[in-house]
Amino acid sequence: MRSEGPSPAILALGTAVPRYRVPQAALCEWLVEALADQPALARWLRSLYRLSGIETRYSCLPDASRPPSESRFVPTRPVAEAPTTAERMAIYEREAVEIGAAAARRALAGYAGCSEEDVAGPAAEITHLIAVSCTGFFAPGLDIAIAGRIGLRPGVERSIVGFMGCSAAFNAMRLAAEIVRSRPGARVLVVCAELCSIHAQPRLDRVNLTVTSLFADGAAACVIGADESGGRERFVLNRFSTTYAENTADAMSWRIGDHGFHMTLSPQVPRMVGQIAAPAVDQLLAGRPRPPRWAIHPGGPSIVDQVAEALGLTPEQVAPSREVLRNYGNMSSPTILFVLDELRRRMREEQPPAAEDAVAMAFGPGLVAEMAHLTYLPAGIVLEPTDGAAQRRGERVAAPVA
C-alpha cells in the first residue's frame, strides 16, 4: 500500500557528455574511407547513417579525428589488433568516472541552486547513491569513485544497477522511490554513466555496423527525494511498471567477450517494441487516461516510430525523444534522463507552465519495457488529494502553494 505522505519526486537533473563531439555525417565518411575496397557495403552504410535520425554524437575516443588506418576501434581492424577487454575497461574506469561525476555535480547544483564548483552543501544531504552502468566494471567501483570525486559523505549508502541495458535508469529510479517512501528524509542521487563507443567491434556484419551507427557516450544524474513543498519544479514519480515479453531473449543481448562487450540486435526489435508498448502503458496506467506528455527512450528512429504508431502519438509528443536522438544518439541508460530534461525544458518554456502528467519508457534486453507515470509540477504548484478515496488510491490534484 502506498504511503499517504509526500510522494517521491525527481528534484533535479544533470547531464554530461565526453569531450569529443562527432558529427554523424563525418563519422560516416570516416567509416566509408575504411571501407574503400567494399563499395557496396559503403553505399549501404551511407544510407544507414542518413536515416539514423542522428546529427551528432559524443565519444570519449579521439579516433574519428584521425585516419581510420590509425584507429584500433575501426571495424575493419583485424581481431588480433583490436583492443582487448582489459584495455577497454581501463578507458572505462577513467572516462566513466569523469562524465558521471560531471553529471552528478550538475544535478546537485540544480538541486541547491549553486554553482557546479560549490556542491559541498547539497552533497552532504545525499543519503543514498545508486550508480548505473552496463558498459564497464571495476572495483572499488563507479559508486565509490563518483562518491569520492563529488564529496559525498563516507557513510552514504551505495548500490549499483549493472548490465541491465538501456532501461536500467528505471530500475534505479524505482529503487530510489522505494527508499524515499520508507525514509521520507532520504535524498537519493542516481548516476547513469555509459561509454558505448569503447565497445566498437572488429566486425563488418550489418548488425554490428547498425549498432555502431546508433550508440554513443554520455552520463545523466538526478536527485530523488520527497515532494514536500512547491518551491521547485520537479517530476513526481507516481508509479512504475515492468513488462517482460516472453520468447524474446534472443532479440537483443549484451555479452562480455575477449575484445569488449558485443551486442546482438534483431531487426525485429522495433516491431516487438511496438507490440508490447500499448499493453505495457495500459498496465502502468491501470484504467487512467493516457497523458499528454511522453518521454520515450530513442533507441533508434524506428523504435520511436513504432511506439508513436502503437500509441497514436503526434510528432509533437515524440519531439523530445527525437531531439535527444538527433543531438546525442543512443547513450543507453542515461538517455531517458536526457529526454526528461528536454521535456522539462519545453514544459518550463510554456506560458504559463502547467502541471501535466507524463509517461516515460525505455526498452532493454529481455525484451523488457520499463515505464513510469510522472507528474510534472512547476515551481509554486503542489499535489493535494481530492478526497479520502482518491488519497487511498494515491491520486492527487495540482493546486497552487497556499
What positions carry a catalytic annotation?
A: 166
Q: Which amino acid is at 62?
A: P
Q: HEC string of the chain?
A: CCCCCCCEEEEEEEEECCCEEEEHHHHHHHHHHHCCCCHHHHHHHHHHHHCCCCCEEEECCCHHHCCHHHCCCCCCCCHHHCCCHHHHHHHHHHHHHHHHHHHHHHHHHHHHCCCCCCCHHHHHHCCEEEEEECCCCCCCCHHHHHHHHHCCCCCCEEEEEECCHHHHHHHHHHHHHHHHHHCCCCEEEEEEEEEHHHHCCCCCCHHHHHHHHHECEEEEEEEEEECCCCCCCEEEEEEEEEEECCCCCCCEEEEEECCEEEEEECCCHHHHHHHHHHHHHHHHHCCCCCCCEEEECCCCHHHHHHHHHHHCCCCCCCHHHHHHHHHHCECCCCHHHHHHHHHHHHHHHCCCCCCEEEEEEEEECCCEEEEEEEEEECCCEEEEECCHHHHHCCCEEEEECC
Per the structure block, which three cell numbers stand in for 47? 544510407
CA 288/CA 286 separation, integer angstroms? 6
Gap between the Cα atoms of 121 and 111, Å rounded: 10
Residue 160's closest CA among 189, 130, 136, 185?
A: 130
220, three cell numbers? 545523466
